[in-house]
Amino acid sequence: MNISDVMTKDLAQLQPNDTIVQAAQKMKEMNIGDVLIAENNMLEGIITDRDIVIRCIASGMDANNTKASECMTKNLVTVSPQTKVIDASHIMSEHQIRRLPVTEDGQLVGIVTLGDLAVDAAEEADVEMTLEQVSEPTR
């Protein structure tokens, strides 16, 4: 099974210059914990609810005037739609990430989460091991 079989294609996206408030509103509207930051469908980063709290609010930044690009995670690990589910599971474990953007020819085409693997590909992905390794504190 390939990632294209389990990835989410209806993506929550914002532009790098959109504000933290806009990112939080998008998360609320879609009932999700992350928004992809892209320009011209080229992935630039991801911002999570945790990023908003830790990198923005706790640092005293004004969420109305802070750009998503100032708090997002950059230099993301990505996979292609043809990546095998088991390989994506290993990548998530190795990098301790719960979300894995999917790109093709540099263009953003989807995202796969640990939850997607657990629900849609549990037989093919070692979800228990992946969750354990993703949740392990870094040293």
Strands of the chain, DSSP E? 13-14, 34-39, 42-48, 99-104, 107-113
User: How does strand 34-39 pair with strand 13-14?
Assistant: parallel
* Full-model pTM: 0.82
What is the token pair recorded at 6?
A: 């389990």
Residue where the block lists tokens 């996979």: 79
Q: What is the topology classification, in CATH, of domain 3-135?
A: CBS-domain (3.10.580)
Question: What does the pLDDT look like over 8-57, one tens digit per residue?
Answer: 999 999 999 999 999 999 999 999 999 999 999 899 999 999 999 999 99
Distances (CA, A) of 123 to 48, 81, 84, 120, 127: 28, 19, 13, 9, 9
> Could you tell me the two tokens for 15?
């532009």
Residue 39 near residue 64 (C-beta atoms within 8 A): no
118 pLDDT band, cuts 50/70/90, is: confident
Decide if 126 contacts 86 (C-beta within 8 A).
yes
